[in-house]
Amino acid sequence: MNQKLYFTPGPSELYPTVPQHMHTALEQKIGSISHRSQQFKDIYARAVTGLRQLLQLPDNYEVLFLSSATEVWERAIQNTVQQRSFHLVNGSFSKRFREVAIELGRDALKYEVPFGQGFDVDSIQVPADTELLALIQNETSSGACMPVADINLFREKAPGTLLFVDAVSSLPHPALDYTKIDAAYFSVQKCFGLPAGLGVWLVNDRCVSKADIILSSGCSIGSYHQLPAMVQKSRENQTAETPNVLGIYLLAQVLEDMNQKGIEAIRKETDEKAALVYTYLDRNRTFSAAVVNPQHRSPTTIVANTTVPASEVNKQLAAFDLTVGSGYGNYKENQIRIANFPAHSPEQMQQLVNKLDELFG
């Protein structure tokens, strides 16, 4: 029996109801049902409806299930960019999205600030002919986030550009204004507290139209995950391939639980837990918030500089069945990352902070 509490930034703690849902899935033999059956279509529809409700998604958006957020990057470029994308880069994942565009042969420009910094939106000019602008709402590697109010400024700056929002490790927390963007995406192993194996792509009609235009111009937009075909399948509560049926089932179940709790309660609890952690980071001897500007500090992936190596922090926490994330990449040892997801209860977060305080001052 593993009693460890995972504050790692995803995979992380499972949402508390997941074990029970998994037992029910086994009893109902969800792993054996056909992905072409009405039973699966009903599960798919429940997952989509649950997300629409939780995120208050407008009707011109579609919900698509892919295998990972990494796949979403590739499909986004394939389906909506012929020549030029433009990427705000301030960490490893925003950087990687741009690399995907380059690997697919696109002219992928960037506006870069140092790792762990947010953006001063006023100073950003979106280059002419930018087809896709990659906004990084929550940079999982560095813990820098972009306030929703800042995201909302880009529509006017670049009305003809498709605005893609990386909210991989933050949704459903940010109250995005979906009328001011064109797509957002997340992974279920972050804030939805599920086993990894699904990336979710929220995508509006402007993106689908762009894919149609590229396709009719005779260019390839991929094969089984062409955006217009995915949308068509999705409206039938279907996928082209045999999908991660169990993952979609668990997502549908957890969404019902989250909707029962209510999005406002989830956001409030997340903010309170974040305040607890950041307050501790401000007053202790070992750690300090890595993102300097409080406006740019992520509520869901909290990154701290540490004077004790991250491996040593986790070694000491392990004795108490607690674990946090190490820093990302070059920051592996001199930063820690603390996930603050809906699966982490206020009591668990208090327990972590108390123990960090006790061990490291």
Reference 103, options 135, 128, 127, 70; nearest CA is: 70
Among 195, 267, 355, 360, which residue sits at the site for its own copies (rule: CB under 8 A)?
195
Among 16, 127, 197, 228, which residue sits at the site for its own copies (rule: CB under 8 A)?
197
Q: Say how far apart CA 259 and CA 161 lie, in whole Å.
A: 33
Among 54, 61, 62, 74, which residue sits at the site for its own copies (rule: CB under 8 A)?
74
Nearer to its own copies, 187 or 300 (CB): 187
Q: Which residues contact 144 (CB under 8 A, 6 or more apart)?
A: 90, 91, 116, 117, 118, 136, 138, 291, 296, 297, 298
Look-up of token digits 């906004």: 135
Nearer to its own copies, 91 or 247 (CB): 247
One-letter amino acid for residue 318 of the chain: A
What is the side-by-side strand order in the sheet with 84-89? 61-66, 199-204, 183-187, 162-166, 132-136, 84-89, 107-112
User: Which pair of structure tokens corresponds to residue 35?
Assistant: 């992905």
Among 203, 207, 245, 352, which residue sits at the site for its own copies (rule: CB under 8 A)?
245
253-282 positions binding its own copies, by CB under 8 A: none
Nearer to its own copies, 30 or 200 (CB): 30
Strands 61-66 and 335-339, sheet pairing: unpaired
Q: Say how far apart CA 69 and CA 188 lie, in whole Å.
A: 9
187 touching its own copies, by CB under 8 A: yes
Secondary structure (3-state) at 183: strand
Binding mask 310-339 for its own copies (x = CB under 8 A): ---------------x--------------
85 touching its own copies, by CB under 8 A: no
CB-CB contact of 138 with 166 (8 Å): yes
Buried/exposed code over 138-171 (b: 16+ C-beta within 10 A; e: otherwise): bbbbbbbbbebebbbebeeebeebbbbbbbbbbb
Residue 324 C-beta: closest distance to its own copies, Å = 11
Residue 279 C-beta: closest distance to its own copies, Å = 26
Choose one: 67-75, 274-282, 291-299, 348-356; the region binding its own copies (CB under 8 A). Answer: 67-75
Among 216, 217, 220, 260, which residue sits at the site for its own copies (rule: CB under 8 A)?
220
130 touching its own copies, by CB under 8 A: no
Site residues (vs its own copies, CB under 8 A):
1-2, 4, 6, 8, 10-14, 18-19, 22, 26-35, 67-71, 73-74, 77, 99-100, 103-105, 187, 189, 194-197, 220, 222-224, 226, 240-247, 325
